Amino acid sequence: MSYGSTSWRPWVLDEEAVKQVATARGNSMAEVALAWLLSKPMVTAPIVGATKLDHLEAAIRAVEVQLSPEDIAALEKPYKPHEVRGF
């Protein structure tokens, strides 16, 4: 499946990569992870399971976070693409 120049892959972000980008930017890890998700054109409505007010507030702040191409590359670098399994 392809959306423009971006191929769909089931992504899983590396916790350490998220932590490094978040620390460098002064954002929370949740804000960075959600901002990364929102940077993907194929994602139109991420499902946020907020169970506490601070979770919801972080999700709202993530909408304003603009990751640089370098941030996105750092987040995606540890990922090793693979075929979808289980279907």
Q: Where do the domains of the chain lie? A: 10-75
From first to last of its 87 residues, what are the pLDDT tens digits of the chain? 333 444 444 557 889 999 999 999 999 999 999 999 999 888 777 777 889 999 899 999 999 999 999 999 999 888 777 777 776
Place of tokens 């907020």: 50
Element (H, E) at 30: helix 29-38
**3-state DSSP assignment of residue 60:** helix
**3-state DSSP assignment of residue 66:** coil
The reported pTM is 0.75
Ramachandran sector of residue 9 (left: φ over 0; alpha: ψ -120 to 50; beta: rest): beta
Place of tokens 């980008």: 21
Query: Residue 62 and residue 37: Cα distance in Å, rounded?
Result: 10
